[in-house]
Amino acid sequence: MSAGGAFGGNRGLSPVPPEKGVFPLDHMHLCDQEKKDYINCLKSAGHKSENCRHLSKKYLECRMERNLMAKQDMSELGFAREATNEE
């Protein structure tokens, strides 16, 4: 028999996280309000995500600020650079 770890993994080797797609869970609920705002927007917009992109961006920015995901330029995450017109 081999001396592998659970599920056939090798002991002593550090796991390597994926580059994108998986990131730490928000166990401390640091971005809960942003998440709730986005989910509520989706519900009221008939689950059309394009209507809630501004909240999706806000949620991702919150996660980056709190080191819950790697910091990246928002354009790399599908958000085009936009002029900030505060109304």
Phi, psi angle pair for 25, to nearest 5° = -70, 155
Three-state secondary structure string covering 12-60: CCCCCCCCCCCCCCCCCCCCHHHHHHHHHHHHHCCCCHHHHHHHHHHHH
Residue 54 lies in a domain: yes
Q: Residue 86 — pLDDT band, cuts 50, 70, 90? A: very low
Residue 41 lies in a domain: yes
Mean of all residue pLDDT scores within the chain: 81
pLDDT at 80: 80
Count CB neighbours of 2 within 10 A: 7
Residue 86 lies in a domain: no
Domain count, the chain: 1
Where in the sequence is the domain holding 61, given as residue range(s)? 28-76
What pTM does this model have?
A: 0.66
